Structure 1
Amino acid sequence: MNRPLRIEYAGALYHVSSRGNERKPIYWEEVDFCLFLDVLAEVYDRFNWVIHSCCLTTNHHL
């Protein structure tokens, strides 16, 4: 089942996370981390985001 659309409003804070399928790594090599950061920078500029913090790990699981 899909998640309902989030309500967006000025000044809101959002927590964004990514998780690998079957707990597999999201990033395999250092170049993967760099590519993600490059894409994040483009989105940051395009949408005038404010990023309070950022943490990249190989996978996001407990």
Structure 2
Amino acid sequence: MARKLRVWFPNAMYHITNRGVRKMIIFYDEFDYLKYLELLEETRECYPFLLHSYCLMTNHIHLQLQTINDPISKIMKKINTSYAIYYRLSE
């Protein structure tokens, strides 16, 4: 059963966590961390948001962000899809 959609409204604040499948590593080296930060910036250009803080760990991430005009689902879909493509191509 799918989870319920998040409630969204302009200027909503979110604490987002995302973990690798089965707690697997998602960042192998410094380049992976830098790529993720680059993708955050690219996403912010498409779907503006305020990034208040972040923590990138070896196997998961924490983001504290505030939406402006776009739902969190669009923002996270772009970030996660972009990083997944990068990750698969770098294997």
TM-score by length of 2: 0.59
- Consecutive unaligned residues of structure 2, counting only runs of 5 or more, are 61-91
Higher strand share: 2
Q: How does 1:1-62 map to 2 (within 5 A)?
A: 1-60=1-60
- Consecutive unaligned residues of structure 1, counting only runs of 5 or more, are none
TM-score by length of 1: 0.82
Structure 2 CA distance for aligned equivalents of residues 17 and 46 of structure 1: 21
| Bigger Rg, which one | 1
Q: Which has the higher contact order (CA 8 A, sep 6+)?
A: 1
Higher helix share: 2
Aligned length: 60
- Moved beyond 2 Å, runs of 4+: none
